[in-house]
Amino acid sequence: MGAYDEAEHERREQKTSAVDADFDAERPEYSGSLTYDSGDSAEALLDKFQEMKGD
C-alpha cells in the first residue's frame, strides 16, 4: 500500500461531492398507447412445461 496522501484525499473528496448540473433535468413526456399479448393461461403454460420436461 502507498503512503497516505492528504492532498489526494481532499482532491477526490471535492471531486465526488461536486454536483454535475450540466444535464437536462426535465423528463420527456411520451404519449401513445401500450398493448401486450399475455399469451397462454397459467395452466396452459404449466402443461407445456410438464410436456417439455417429459413427465
pLDDT of residue 42: 87
Mean pLDDT of the chain: 80
Within its chain, how far is the Cα of 28 from the centroid? 18
pTM over 0.85: no
Q: What is the mean pLDDT of residues 28-53?
A: 86
